[in-house]
Chains A and B, each alone.
Chain A
Amino acid sequence: MLKRRVIPVLLLRGDRVVKGKQFTDYRDTGNPVMATRVYNAQAADELLFLDIEATVTGRSRLTEILSRVSEEAFMPFAVGGGIRTKADVRSLIAAGADKVVITTAAVETPEVVSEVAETFGSQCVIAGIDVRREDGRYAVYVRSGRVRTELDLQEHVRNLDRRGAGEILINSIDCDGMMGGYDLDMLACAVEATNKPVIVCGGAGNFRHLEEGLRAGAHAVACASLFHFGDNNPPRARAYLKNAGFPVKRV
């Protein structure tokens, strides 16, 4: 069985990392380079950097920060936020990223997903989907949750799968930062639509939530508040999941 992964998420805003609730109300959680050093020491399975200002305010100093981050990160790390073109991806990979997360462009110009997958390989493309629950259905949002689309969630997942995304990152805006657990129905919806690995994000507040995510079919569980606002770290999470019967990385 494939090893299940716990992926800390770092939201970049300017020179710092932050964490908010429902894509707003951000609190400082540290320095990106030092945070990477800490997760590296704790042998995190992977890291996920999302530049939350990139789509809204344009390219930031992301690549510069990333090259300093990549000196610290011995685990694979993915980067997202404002990626529009193959050239963007090339520069992020040159700065040390192993994978990229494409969210807004995956809706507005989905051919970018195919181009990047063809050029750099599917394993390096994570298609991101930000979701809000509205009147009993799931609406797909872009531009850091500011713009609503008319897409059907499962149709969008299938489309991203066909275009060559290696993994799907599904993130609940409603649950983000609330620490009350993942939106498991949303997750099940995505898992049903693809055979690609699904990473669930948004809402994990304790280790039981991680377990629930994996039981509901996620291949990896992403979390931020769990590690920022609680007595938790990746080794503890792995020990918990191992006791719950999941194969996890041995350190």
Chain B
Amino acid sequence: MRRCKRCHLPETYETIEFDNEGICNICKSTEHKKVIDWGARKELLDALVEKYRGKSDYDCIVPFSGGKDSTFQLYYLMKEYKLKPLVVRFNHGFMRPTVRENAERTLKLLGADFLEFTPNWKLVKRVMLEAFKRKTDFCWHCHSGIYTYPLQVAIRYNVPLLFWGEPLAEISHYYDYLNDEIEYEDETKFNMCRNLGITAEDMHGMIDSPEDPVDRRDFIPYTYPALKELKRIQYCSVCLGSFIPWDYTKNSEIIMRELGWKNDELEGVPLEINGHGEKIECFMQGARDYIKYMKRGYSRATQITAFHVRNGRMTPEQALPYVMNEGKRPPSLDVLLGYLGMTESEFNTIVRATEVSPYHHDYGRTDEAPRVWDQDLWYKEAAPDAGASNSRVYLKVV
């Protein structure tokens, strides 16, 4: 596979393009980040905050998982601006113990009101299966709910200002820093790259059937609010990282020092390259990253070292061994198979059909990633044993 000469991201990375020197567009975009007039951006943020301060029951809404980015968001807004936020969490069902503790400590130390919403698990399982069969991405409910639910809260509480964290320009080329624009978390962005191209209206029709009807109302938490509702509250939904230079390594150091935020193991990723807590909030992360590896030949270790290389914390040579040594089967896959109700060979059949050329996965590989410490604490459902039934209805997919 062709890879970026600098950060090693391969050609199967979504929206990647290479220049004549073989450097990728994401590397190029982060270079530009250095020459943005961040002072002017900060003044924009000051003005934005003052425009909304004190106008409703809360100054803003902070969508919050308890992970490093949202914790920093909350910390920054409360310390820098003394804002009174309503903190909102969409619980996808895969919260790890350390992130729960981190969240509780953060909220207590900062002193903020917190709303948590956990959607119907039976529906979650059905949409996980459907999204996995169609898109080999079982996280439609996270991708959608995380972005839609806080907006619904914004409408209900009449709080127009929402702060998200990391800008997409950091990780993909759907947006970049080059156009000097503020990244809005709006419906266009949601449909472009958040929801797998499947809206709640679409998903409802996909799984609703006379034999097994689904109440339309079950999809309300995943539905992007109507524009006229959002306009009525004059919503403003932005990424904090558009206004201050987003450096997650530094951000993590700040929350560790100021809030006692704790890092955790990340399945499939050596701890020494993830000292700053990327993706530790979701216990399905290892399985997600594994699917990506099976399809595209890279996964989380490559993405993390690419970050470090771009930010000058690693050389391309130091990153290479991690890039070459990932893709091991994570023990969390067994937990996922339990939720999906399928065997590993059924799972492999579905993933194999969406392999991204020119990567070709070796299905004979048997190396396993180490089990993370908290796996025994996760909610589990029994998976069917291999070979029991290979002709399930849901295999009538691709």
Residues of A within 8 A of B (CB): 16, 28-31, 34-35, 37-38, 40-43, 179, 205-208, 225, 227-233, 235-236, 239, 242-243
Q: How many angstroms between the C-alpha atoms of A40 and B18 in the bound complex?
A: 25
Say if the beta carbon of B199 comes within 8 Å of chain A: yes
Cross-chain pairs A/B with CB under 8 angstroms, 10 sampled = A30-B199, A31-B202, A34-B199, A38-B191, A38-B198, A42-B192, A207-B356, A229-B354, A232-B354, A235-B15
B357 x A207 contact (CB < 8 A): yes
Q: Which residues of B contact A28 (CB under 8 A)?
A: 205-206
Q: Which residues of B contact A235 (CB under 8 A)?
A: 14-15, 174, 192-193
Q: Which residues of A contact B193 (CB under 8 A)?
A: 42, 233, 235
Q: Which residues of B contact A31 (CB under 8 A)?
A: 199, 201-202, 205
A34 x B17 contact (CB < 8 A): no
User: How far apart are B104's CB and chain A's nearest CB, in angstroms?
Assistant: 35
User: How far apart are B285's CB and chain A's nearest CB, in angstroms?
Assistant: 17
Closest 8 pairs between A and B when the two form their complex, measured CB to CB: A30-B202, A41-B191, A41-B192, A34-B199, A208-B357, A31-B201, A38-B191, A41-B188
Say if the beta carbon of B300 comes within 8 Å of chain A: no
A41 x B189 contact (CB < 8 A): yes
B197 x A231 contact (CB < 8 A): no
A179 x B173 contact (CB < 8 A): no
Q: A41-B188, A207-B356, A208-B357 are in contact. Are A228 and B134 (CB under 8 A)?
A: yes
User: How far apart are B348's CB and chain A's nearest CB, in angstroms?
Assistant: 15
Give the residue name and chain of the B residue nearest to A236 (CB).
B14
B197 x A233 contact (CB < 8 A): yes
| Residue from A35, A207, A236, A243 with most neighbouring chain B CB atoms (10 Å) | A236
User: How far apart are B131's CB and chain A's nearest CB, in angstroms?
Assistant: 10
Q: A28-B205, A34-B202 are in contact. Are A42 and B197 (CB under 8 A)?
A: yes
Question: Chain B contact residues (Cβ within 8 angstroms of A): what range?
Answer: 35 or more
Say if the beta carbon of B368 comes within 8 Å of chain A: no
Cβ proximity bits B173-213 to A, threshold 8 Å, 1 near / 0 not: 11000000000000111111101011101100110000000
Q: Which residues of B contact A179 (CB under 8 A)?
A: 353, 398
CB contact between B187 and one of A41, A208, A227, A231 (< 8 Å): that residue: A41
CB contact between A206 and one of B198, B357, B397 (< 8 Å): that residue: B357
Q: How many angstroms between the C-alpha atoms of A208 and B187 in the bound complex?
A: 30
Q: A42-B191, A243-B11 are in contact. Are A230 and B135 (CB under 8 A)?
A: yes
B197 x A38 contact (CB < 8 A): yes
Give the residue name and chain of the B residue nearest to A42 (CB).
B192
Q: How many angstroms between the C-alpha atoms of A29 and B18 in the bound complex?
A: 33
| Residue from A28, A34, A231, A239 with most neighbouring chain B CB atoms (10 Å) | A231
Say if the beta carbon of B344 comes within 8 Å of chain A: no
Give the residue name and chain of the B residue nearest to A242 (CB).
B17
Give the residue name and chain of the A residue nearest to B189 (CB).
A41
Q: How many angstroms between the C-alpha atoms of A178 and B200 in the bound complex?
A: 27
Say if the beta carbon of B253 comes within 8 Å of chain A: no
Give the residue name and chain of the B residue nearest to A228 (CB).
B134
B197 x A227 contact (CB < 8 A): yes
Q: Which residues of B contact A16 (CB under 8 A)?
A: 205
User: How far apart are A99's CB and chain B's nearest CB, in angstroms?
Assistant: 23
Q: Which residues of B contact A207 (CB under 8 A)?
A: 356-357
A206 x B356 contact (CB < 8 A): yes
Besides the contacts A30-B199, A206-B356, A239-B15, what 19 more A-B pairs have beta carbons closer than 8 Å? A29-B206, A37-B191, A40-B191, A41-B190, A41-B191, A42-B191, A42-B197, A179-B353, A179-B398, A206-B355, A229-B135, A230-B354, A232-B354, A233-B192, A235-B15, A235-B193, A239-B14, A239-B16, A243-B11
